[in-house]
Structure 1
Amino acid sequence: MRLTFTIQRFNPETDQQPHREDYRLDIGRGMTVLEALIRIKNELDGRLALRYSCRSAICGSCAMHINGTEKLACRTSIRKELERHGRISIEPLPNLPVIKDLVVDMSPFWEKIRAVTPWLTPETHPTKRYGSSGQLRLLPESYQFHNVDACIMCGACVAACTSHEVSRGFLGPAALAKSARFVADPREPAGAKQARLTALQEADGIWDCTRCNMCVQVCPKDVQPMEAIIRLRRSSLRHGLTSAEGARHITGFVDLVRHEGRLNEALMPLKVLGFNLRRVLDVMPLGLRMWLKGKVPLPFGHTIPGIEQVRAIFAAARRRAPRV
């Protein structure tokens, strides 16, 4: 069968803007997008630039934007893409600088990985980590990394991240998932965990994730970075890190429901913004529109019937909560 492949091309030495080029190619049964690209380069256009290595979904080198979604070209079936989209359109990963054609500069990605210190913090007392034989202490059999250690650093999650699209300073799903792996590691010293979590409270950290779930959808190894970010947020709250607006939103929401049995939209902004007058003035127009629509209850209204049962649920949850 003969198909048309639409590929985004860009040569910084000759092109002002990226453009698309079509290539017609005879394909065989079971062929992947990467196999087709290699044939296009070998048989039709030797100038085409792409990155690949293992061809087995292990190295992550061939991550691309295929038919509107970030995928590994080596594991993307042409037949399935045709059945789903009726075409084959290939572009480089978004949110990363393009070097040439389908090759992107991964330097910003690796800078974010290095920024979270992706290794265990050296122990001041090595005997706590090493046994008499000098070997690294093994993790207990019951311990799990929630699959975050399966990350192959392909960059697909960063390319799909809506927060990273808006703010390039955002650490991104891969780096935060990597950080979660070390925060959860029982061999990491308690002080180092606290330091890691404190650093992640800053702007572009864990509270800037919008939970759009795109990183989970595109991850080829089911790492589920968004779930790792949620675990980091929970761990931060358990460690008493509640000064960030995102943390105050969670604690304020829970506090209101525990005391009133429902969300009180009139008090919620004060829970999140505190006494920051400038931020309060910023949300006043929204509050006024909500009030005109009847969406804002009285600030100190009555609690709902059955509030004692609600509070009992919170009390039971607190007793079962894991200790830091």
Structure 2
Amino acid sequence: MSILRTLLRHAFQSRYFSIAEFKRAQNKADKGRDEKQKDGKKQSPKMKTFKIYRFDPEGNNKKPKMQSYTVDINDCRPMVLDALMKIKMEQDSTLAFRKSCREGICGSCGVNIDGINRLACLHKIRPRGTTKIYPLPHMYVIKDLIVDMNKFLAQHNRIKPYPIPKELCVKSEGDQQFLQSIKDREKMDGLVECILCACCSTSCPEYWWHGHTKPPNDFLGPAALLNAYRWIVDTRDGATHERLSELRNYYNVYRCHQINNCTSVCPKKSALPKRSCRSHAKTEKQLQHCIPTRLQTFF
């Protein structure tokens, strides 16, 4: 039972990120508002301006624009997503954006807030100044803050993000176990937490330049490389050599130049470039090849 509890703790509690802080912020805002309402004290409105990117390819005006909205933040929960929902429900029902869990778990609400990629559900509203909200950069915009994730998810699918057993199951279905020690499981800390929000890949200049070219000559991006490394270090997986062979080309792991934008914006605080370097090192060690001559200038 102690081993089970430890594994569950690792699986559901990331040491890089705690949702408790998010819930405390929301509870504090709700509690303060409720107490003032009980005391009969009416809060004076505190208006906040949001400038939001608007684009509708099926509308009359096909040119993108920035549209301003004002929200009383004393009558709104503390996160940017709360403000977006309030605007949609009370001011403009045509505003389009993605949302789901509202707790930083699903990764649906990734947007660019004041020039930085963030999850709208985890970013607090700044009380002063104007907040500008854009869709994730260098992605095809479907409408307003909704971007096309098909290319990003297709690149993730190319790394085969699922376990490939070391040997065929000889027992009856459901009877075979793939055991893993606690020490081996700890190697995946900071990897399994990825929620595919695309904040990292869309902040990477290398992904801007080479992420949208035709496969296989496209850079997979930080998210795909992180998840590739997650399966490479998984002791239960039996396709390590195949995964490393797939990564070993001019446009995959070698295209990471340690710019570190991905680490700065990751809501889970994963060390993405460091894991990319480890994938590179494992690639060379596993395949016992030298780096091609034209790549030596990069290392």
From 65, 71, 83, the equivalent of 1:19 is 65
Q: SS of 1:138's equivalent?
A: coil
Q: Which has the larger displacement, 172-181 or 71-80?
A: 71-80
For 2:246, the equivalent position in structure 1 comes to 199
Instruction: Give, as a single letter, the amino acid of the residue that structure 1 aligns with 2:57.
Output: P
Using a 3 Å threshold, how does the CA distance of structure 1 residues 37 and 245 change in structure 2: closer, same or farther? farther
Q: In 1, distance between residues paired with 2:234 and 2:282?
A: 12
Instruction: Give, as a single letter, the amino acid of the residue that structure 2 aligns with 1:23.
Output: Y
Q: Number of residue pairs matched?
A: 243
Using a 3 Å threshold, how does the CA distance of structure 1 residues 125 and 25 change in structure 2: closer, same or farther? closer
- TM (norm. structure 2) is 0.76
For 2:150, the equivalent position in structure 1 comes to 107
For 1:176, the equivalent position in structure 2 comes to 225
**RMSD after superposition:** 2.2
- Is the contact made by 1:201 and 1:244 (CA closer than 8 Å) also made in structure 2? no
- Is the contact made by 1:236 and 1:242 (CA closer than 8 Å) also made in structure 2? no
Using a 3 Å threshold, how does the CA distance of structure 1 residues 76 and 246 change in structure 2: closer, same or farther? farther
Instruction: Give, as a single letter, the amino acid of the residue that structure 1 aligns with 2:144.
Output: D
Q: SS of 1:7's equivalent?
A: strand
- Is the contact made by 1:242 and 1:248 (CA closer than 8 Å) also made in structure 2? no
From 245, 270, 290, the equivalent of 1:242 is 290
Instruction: Give, as a single letter, the amino acid of the residue that structure 1 aligns with 2:134.
Output: E
Q: Which one scores higher on RCO, CA 8 angstroms, separation ≥ 6? A: 2
Using a 3 Å threshold, how does the CA distance of structure 1 residues 58 and 94 change in structure 2: closer, same or farther? same
- Is the contact made by 2:250 and 2:295 (CA closer than 8 Å) also made in structure 1? no
Using a 3 Å threshold, how does the CA distance of structure 1 residues 185 and 245 change in structure 2: closer, same or farther? farther
Deviation at 1:30, TM superposition (A): 5.5
From 66, 77, 81, the equivalent of 2:124 is 77
Deviations 1:55-90 (A, max 9, x none): 11111111100000000001110137x4xxx32000
For 1:264, the equivalent position in structure 2 comes to none
Using a 3 Å threshold, how does the CA distance of structure 1 residues 245 and 91 change in structure 2: closer, same or farther? farther
- Is the contact made by 2:169 and 2:176 (CA closer than 8 Å) also made in structure 1? no
Matches within 5 A, 1:114-125: 114-125=157-168
Q: SS of 1:51's equivalent?
A: coil
For 1:142, the equivalent position in structure 2 comes to 183
- Is the contact made by 2:77 and 2:83 (CA closer than 8 Å) also made in structure 1? no
Instruction: Give, as a single letter, the amino acid of the residue that structure 1 aligns with 2:192.
Output: D
Q: SS of 1:233's equivalent?
A: helix
- Is the contact made by 1:30 and 1:79 (CA closer than 8 Å) also made in structure 2? no
Q: In 2, distance between residues paired with 1:203 and 1:136?
A: 37
Instruction: Give, as a single letter, the amino acid of the residue that structure 2 aligns with 1:234.
Output: A
Q: SS of 1:3's equivalent?
A: strand
Deviations 1:193-252 (A, max 9, x none): 1221121112320001111000000000122221211110111122223233576458xx
Q: SS of 2:200's equivalent?
A: helix
Q: In 2, distance between residues paired with 1:2 and 1:65?
A: 22
For 1:52, the equivalent position in structure 2 comes to 99
Instruction: Give, as a single letter, the amino acid of the residue that structure 1 aligns with 2:152.
Output: F
- Is the contact made by 1:118 and 1:178 (CA closer than 8 Å) also made in structure 2? yes
Sequence identity, in percent?
34
For 2:49, the equivalent position in structure 1 comes to 4
Q: Which structure is higher in helix share?
A: 1
Using a 3 Å threshold, how does the CA distance of structure 1 residues 229 and 219 change in structure 2: closer, same or farther? same
Q: SS of 1:182's equivalent?
A: helix
Matches within 5 A, 1:170-319: 170-189=219-238, 192-239=239-286, 240-245=288-293, 248-249=296-297
For 2:13, the equivalent position in structure 1 comes to none
For the pair shown, the structure with the greater C-alpha radius of gyration is 1
For 1:269, the equivalent position in structure 2 comes to none
Deviations 1:153-182 (A, max 9, x none): 111011101111111221011111110011
- Is the contact made by 1:66 and 1:90 (CA closer than 8 Å) also made in structure 2? yes
